[in-house]
Amino acid sequence: MGAALALGVLGAPAWAQDVTIAALGDSLTQGYGLPRTEGFVPQLQAWLGDRDAGATLINAGVSGDTTAGGLSRVDWTLTPDVDGMIVALGGNDLLRGLDPAESRANLDGILAAAGERDVPVLLVGMRAPGNFGADYKAAFDAIYPELAAEHGTLLADNFLGALEAMPDRQAAMSRYIQGDGVHPNADGVALIVADLGPKVLDLIARVRGE
């Protein structure tokens, strides 16, 4: 960590020291199925470095984690050196068809824990598929904007938004998703990082009080 901080400072002389951002998430954050340097956190770190953002990221993604799993480990994720947090959870809740009320309560607990420590948060949403019905989708999709408003956090609407917005969904799946049909490949991650990166810059600015 010390060497990384030193390199970060040298690369971004405008900042006295890097801010530290923890990325609390699941396999999408952890980088499932990808070489270590091609996952979401390493690619985002490189994207921020190219912009002299002066930030060091901690990969707190755990494959298979639900919002409940994130809540269970948020306290030890929020160590004293963490200045800000990206929260990107909910995909596994969707895969399991969990009650949106449970997901909401868990995410509410995570945001409350960050608030108690005065740690700014970027909440990254997920969009429910239609196979659970319109009522389920409406309830789940509403979780993220409503909680962001309640807790005053920054919001990115959809982790996979850059891919889901493509007009040819089948071509996008073939080009940017791994063979499991769920996780983005390295090129897909690059598009996600380009989409979410500006929001992360907003988070860094909020950490610095700008």
The set of catalytic residues is 27, 180, 183
* Residues 159/125, Cβ–Cβ less than 8 Å: yes
**What strands, in cross-sheet order, belong to the sheet with 55-61?**
55-61, 19-25, 84-88, 121-124, 154-156
DSSP state, 36? G
Cβ atoms of 114 and 75 closer than 8 Å: no
Contact 98, 135 (CB under 8 A): no
Mention every residue, 6+ apart, whose C-beta is less than 8 A from residue 172: 163, 164, 166
Alpha carbon distance 65, 118 (integer Å): 24
Q: Do the bridges between strand 154-156 and strand 121-124 make them parallel or antiparallel, or are there none, so unpaired?
A: parallel
Name every residue whose Cβ is closer than 8 Å to that of residue 206 and which is 6 or more positions away in sequence: 84, 120, 154
What is the spatial distance between Cα 143 and Cα 124, in angstroms, rounded to a whole number?
A: 11
